Structure 1
Amino acid sequence: MFQFIIRRTVGALVTLFLIGAATFFLFVAAPSDYASLACGKDCSPARLEDIRQALGLNLPIHQQFWDFMSGIVMGRDYPTGHCSAPCLGQSFYSGDMVWSTIMDRFPTTLTLTAGGAVVFVIVGVGAGMIAAYRRGTLIDKVATGVSMVLSSFQIYVLGPIVLLIFVYSTGWMDNPQYHPITEDPWTWFTGMLLPVLVMATIFTAQYTRMARSSMIEQLAEEHVRTARAKGMSNKYVFFRYAWRGSMIPIVTVLGIDISAMLGGAVVTEITFSLQGIGRLAVDGAVHKDLPLTMGVMLFGAFFILIVNILTDIAYAYIDPRVRLS
């Protein structure tokens, strides 16, 4: 298992390096004038040249690439001060270090993605397992029908409806807002409840259907039928033999969907006026803030790679054969 984790980690580091290189050549080394974006409108030639020197754009391309990549690991110096590792640059728009800005926004997005994942895994997988266990009954039909209805919703449709009903019309909930959990856990919970539920609803329907079909397939496997033929109870067979095998496709898709939730976070944060990384990415694009956009891209890639490693570990734990592949 340890060797498996090492292999996956090394592969993730190589992937992250390639993404960093692609990001550099896409933005910094592209034909577009990186310095002109930093200088803004009505920029004098002298000011433009000063910015080129400050950003190191007058250096050879290989030296610029080294400064960019080494800055992520060791930090680098700017005319305005030192940027500690991991240095993702300095924002053109605000003047703040990109890494500090991302860390300020990350708790909001983490609450959305982690909270949403916990909800849709517990509710969606739980409902799917119960529906499979009670296949053909009213419970199965209700779970399947509700999942089909929920699958038709989208965040940009469901979000405004939830705000209109629970915030603006009835006043049952306050306008969603992120508060640090360390300051007031209850305020953190109530402030993020609606966005998390909206985010989770979109995925709950998918996982209900997936868990149901996966469990039904497992219950039809030969080893499960053999266990039943030996006189074991349905409940014992369900939890001892069928449950673990049914989780393999769910864990595989879970890693992909958690990564995809970063895209959903953009819409959710804009809908509920939350200051997260998704909103930060939009702000970077609107203000043509390349360091901020590059930083968000690299951080998103890092986040996705971490999720993929954890998914591979969980997958290898459920199915030991994966460790040898």
Structure 2
Amino acid sequence: IEFWMMDPFIYDEGTHRGGDLYINLGDVSEDILKDSRKFFEQGLPGPGEPFDVDSTAWGYIPKQQSLVNAFSNDAETRMMQDLGLNGMNSEKERSFYRQGNDSFLELIDNMYNNLQLSEEAYASIINDPAADDFKYFRGSEHDRRQASILERYKYYNNPEGNSRPSEYSGESFSTAATNIPDGEDINRDNTLSESENYFQYKITLQPGQMEIGQNYITDITSNSVKLENGNTEEVTWYQFKIPVNTPDSVIGDLDDLRSVRFMRMFLHNFEDTVVLRFASLDLIRAEWRRYEKELYDIRDNVSP
């Protein structure tokens, strides 16, 4: 695994403690909301259709089978189906997550009342309890606030509302990220795999320890770059090369990399916000391979 990463602590003022980047290669569970049920947006009912769904701790699951991986051509039906992986819009989430004793939103209320949450954080949770609302990177709201690149793409990967029909976009252009329904079927083979068998690689990212020879860093380059605001800054890029045949740990039942289906990346142990900017992320191989058997065979009586 080879990639170039911009210095993640370029704007650190000496307070960031860093954390770890993990990469998994192998079989990864497609059951994102852990309930052993396969969710697919196109299975949710449209206008006037029976509410034929099951309820779980996370939300709603369609009862019918997933036959076609596509939305209905009807715009109103798509609006009722484009709800994210819990099958609910934010309004429904606010009531659903208050059901029962010690509900999620009741715990949030208690944290806010005990001054453990700021007003901004509390309002953000109440407005979107599942934190799954999609926002397109273009729009009049972003322009009015002169939003930065990070702000514009912060919610771009969220599933609720990411397939909105153009007539409901509220803009003069389409604000949909995809026309494919979201679901718990990453490789689209119409089955829900819950297997967790993978090789795991750990890359520690900490200020002061970004040096060649440590944490898979093989090259460092620094350049002075003129920014759009006219300023010039020194920017450092790090090249990482991770040998896939020597994982830091093996999870589950996996002997080799001949049946890798998925790659998963996640961050852990970070106490502060971090942005990882990748210039490249590749799986590479060399034409030469290491011969791992003995070169000398006593029966040949020939030295290598």
Measured against the shorter chain, the TM-score band is under 0.3
TM-score when normalising by structure 1: 0.23
Larger helix proportion, structure 1 or 2? 1
Larger strand proportion, structure 1 or 2? 2
TM-score when normalising by structure 2: 0.24
